[in-house]
Structure 1
Amino acid sequence: MKKAILSAAVLLALSGCSYLSMEKGTDISQATMEQIVVNKSTQSDVERIIGYPQNKQKLGDGEIWYYEFSKVGYLGNKDEKTVFEFDKKGVVVKKYKTGGNSKNPLTGK
């Protein structure tokens, strides 16, 4: 009986470990954001520093690049987009993040 309870506890703990690291997309840190300079950095700079965006959209003469990131974790969830807007010359004119952190509905943390 003790072995069965111990085995169940170990299996539960191991299944929880896989839950801790569910991530998808490109997580862009604040330090990386600071490397991209508004009115100076170009599309080539952004692609070199971060990589190719998951989504692009035309906006007038310019373009918007989106990098999405989702993480489900024991200590909370993260669901955000990092957005870079470029002018017609391909220079960054705006950069920002949308979304953010939220509680994990299973743990309340």
Structure 2
Amino acid sequence: MRALALALILATPLAVSTTSAHANPFGGYTTGIEITQQQMDTLEIGKTTQNNVREKFGAPGRREQLGDTQVWYYDYVKIKHFGKNVQEATVLEFNKQGVLTAKSKSNAVGKTGNPLIDAANGK
């Protein structure tokens, strides 16, 4: 019996470490790509290209073509057990040459396609 109890105690950290990459040890849940304000500040309008952004952050979760402007959206959601949830979108606009023309952050994103997150956000 003691051997079984010891085996369970030793196996618990292994079971916790193999959970989803989006779950943290305190039960929070994240999805998307977080782009901090410091990272936003490194993106220079008129100089930064789509390739620079893709190398730094990966492909955007959403894209939209508005005339000659291509808009990239990097959505990020963090659902916490304690404290305020985070739901934001980083929006980057590029001209037809693929050069950054505008950048902004919003504090809300639309439907994410993830039922858990959409339900938590009332969508």
- Secondary structure of the residue aligned to 1:47 is helix
CA RMSD of aligned residues (A): 1.4
1:61-108 deviation digits (Å, cap 9, x = unpaired): 1200000001111121111100000011110000000116xxxxxxxx
Maintained 8 Å contact 1:32/1:49? no
- Tell me the distance in 2 between the aligned counterparts of 1:37 and 1:58: 21
- Tell me the distance in 1 between the aligned counterparts of 2:58 and 2:43: 13
Structure 1: unaligned runs, 5 residues or longer: 1-15, 101-109
Same amino acid, percent of matched pairs: 34
Structure 2: unaligned runs, 5 residues or longer: 1-24, 109-123
Maintained 8 Å contact 1:86/1:92? yes
Instruction: Give the match for residue 63 of structure 1.
Output: 70
Q: What is the CA distance between 1:17 and its match in structure 2? A: 2.5
Q: What is the CA distance between 1:49 and its match in structure 2? A: 1.1
Structure holding more strand per residue = 1
**How do 1:8-87 residues align onto structure 2 when only pairs under 5 Å count?**
17-18=26-27, 21-73=28-80, 74-87=82-95
The normalised TM-score by structure 2 is: 0.64
The normalised TM-score by structure 1 is: 0.71
Aligned residues: 83
- Tell me the distance in 2 between the aligned counterparts of 1:17 and 1:94: 37
Per chain length, whose mean CA-contact separation is higher, i.e. which structure has more relative contact order (CA < 8 Å, sep 6+)?
1
- Secondary structure of the residue aligned to 1:17 is coil
Structure 1 stretches of 4+ moved >6 Å: none
